[in-house]
Amino acid sequence: MNTVSIHPQRTLLTQMLHERILPVFSPPFIVRYYIFTVPETAKNVERLWIDSIAKDAEQSSDGGKFIHSNSDETLIFERHGEFSTYFQFRQLEQEDIDNNDKYAFGSLNDTQHPWIGADSGDLFRNVEFIFTNKLPDDNVINKIMHLSNGVSCDVFDKKARIWTDFYRHEDDAGRVLVYCDNLKNDEASRLLQTLIEIGQYRKLALLGFPIAREKLGWLKSAEDKLNNITTELDQNTTPQNEILNHITKLSAEVESAINEVRFRFGATEAYYRLTKDRLKTLRESPIDGYSTMQQFIERRLTPAMRTCEATKNRLQDLSERIGRVNDLLRTRISISLELQNQELLKSMNKRSELQVKLSELVEGLSIFAIGYYIFNLLKYFLESLFPHHEEMLHKLNAPLIACILAAGWLFINMRKKSIKGEKD
The mean per-residue pLDDT over the stretch 228-256 comes to: 88
Tell me: do 314 and 256 sit in the same domain.
Answer: yes
Please give the residue range of the domain that contains residue 127. Answer: 19-182
Tell me: do 306 and 394 sit in the same domain.
Answer: no
Which helix (DSSP H) or strand (DSSP E) does residue 241 occupy?
Answer: helix 240-282
Residue 201 in domain: no
Mean pLDDT of the chain: 84
- Residue 199 contacts residue 279 (beta carbons within 8 Å): no
Residue 199 in domain: no
CA distances from 241 to 45, 235, 246, 253 (A): 52, 15, 9, 19
Tell me: do 321 and 294 sit in the same domain.
Answer: yes
Q: At 330, which CATH number?
A: 1.20.58
Range with the poorest average pLDDT among 124-128, 325-329, 338-342: 338-342
Task: Using alpha carbons, select from 68, 23, 69, 32 the residue that is nearest to residue 50.
Answer: 68
Q: Which residues contact residue 310 at a Cβ distance below 8 angstroms, ignoring those fewer than 6 apart?
A: 212, 216
Range with the poorest average pLDDT among 101-110, 216-225, 343-352: 101-110
Residue 332 in domain: yes
The number of CA neighbours under 13 Å toward the Cβ of 181 is: 5
Tell me: do 30 and 162 sit in the same domain.
Answer: yes
Residue 399 in domain: yes
Sort strands 65-69 and 58-59 into parallel, antiparallel or unpaired: antiparallel
Task: Using alpha carbons, select from 202, 206, 184, 204 the residue that is nearest to residue 194.
Answer: 202
Can you tell me whether residue 30 is helix, strand or coil?
A: strand
Tell me: do 140 and 276 sit in the same domain.
Answer: no
Q: How far apart are CA 12 and CA 7, in angstroms?
A: 10
Which tops the pLDDT comparison, 378 or 113?
Answer: 378
Tell me: do 241 and 173 sit in the same domain.
Answer: no
Can you tell me whether residue 167 is helix, strand or coil?
A: coil
Supply the pLDDT for residue 275.
95
Q: How far apart are CA 177 and CA 95, in angstroms?
A: 16
Asked if the model's pLDDT at residue 101 lies above 90, the reply is no
Share of the chain above pLDDT 90, in %: 36
As for how many domains the chain has, the answer is 3
Which tops the pLDDT comparison, 42 or 280?
Answer: 280
The mean per-residue pLDDT over the stretch 139-148 comes to: 86
**End position of a domain, from candidates 291, 307, 342:** 342
**End position of a domain, from candidates 305, 322, 342:** 342
Which tens digit of pLDDT belongs to each residue from 19-33?
Answer: 567 888 889 999 999
E-strand ranges in 142-190 read 151-155, 160-164, 174-179
Confidence band (pLDDT; 50, 70, 90) for 118?
A: low
Can you tell me whether residue 286 is helix, strand or coil?
A: strand
Asked if the model's pLDDT at residue 263 lies above 80, the reply is yes
Residue 7 in domain: no
- Residue 198 contacts residue 278 (beta carbons within 8 Å): yes
Which tens digit of pLDDT belongs to each residue from 164-200?
Answer: 998 888 888 899 999 998 888 889 999 999 999 999 9
Supply the pLDDT for residue 6.
80
**End position of a domain, from candidates 132, 164, 182:** 182
Residue 142 in domain: yes
- Residue 57 contacts residue 66 (beta carbons within 8 Å): yes
The mean per-residue pLDDT over the stretch 227-247 comes to: 86
Which tops the pLDDT comparison, 180 or 49?
Answer: 180
Which tops the pLDDT comparison, 42 or 126?
Answer: 126
Confidence band (pLDDT; 50, 70, 90) for 240?
A: confident
Supply the pLDDT for residue 350.
84
The mean per-residue pLDDT over the stretch 300-314 comes to: 94
Tell me: do 42 and 173 sit in the same domain.
Answer: yes
Asked if the model's pLDDT at residue 362 lies above 80, the reply is no
Residue 375 in domain: yes
Residue 359 in domain: yes
Tell me: do 60 and 133 sit in the same domain.
Answer: yes
Tell me: do 25 and 67 sit in the same domain.
Answer: yes
**Angle formed by the axes of helices 240-282 and 293-385, to 10°?**
150
Tell me: do 212 and 276 sit in the same domain.
Answer: yes
DSSP one-letter code for 54: -
Tell me: do 114 and 249 sit in the same domain.
Answer: no
Q: How far apart are CA 179 and CA 162, in angstroms?
A: 6
Q: How far apart are CA 399 and CA 407, in angstroms?
A: 12
Range with the poorest average pLDDT among 51-55, 93-97, 176-180, 237-241: 51-55
Task: Record the pTM.
Answer: 0.76
Range with the poorest average pLDDT among 62-66, 138-142, 260-264: 62-66
Tell me: do 281 and 395 sit in the same domain.
Answer: no
Asked if the model's pLDDT at residue 67 lies above 70, the reply is yes
Which tens digit of pLDDT belongs to each residue from 377-398?
Answer: 777 777 677 776 667 766 777 7
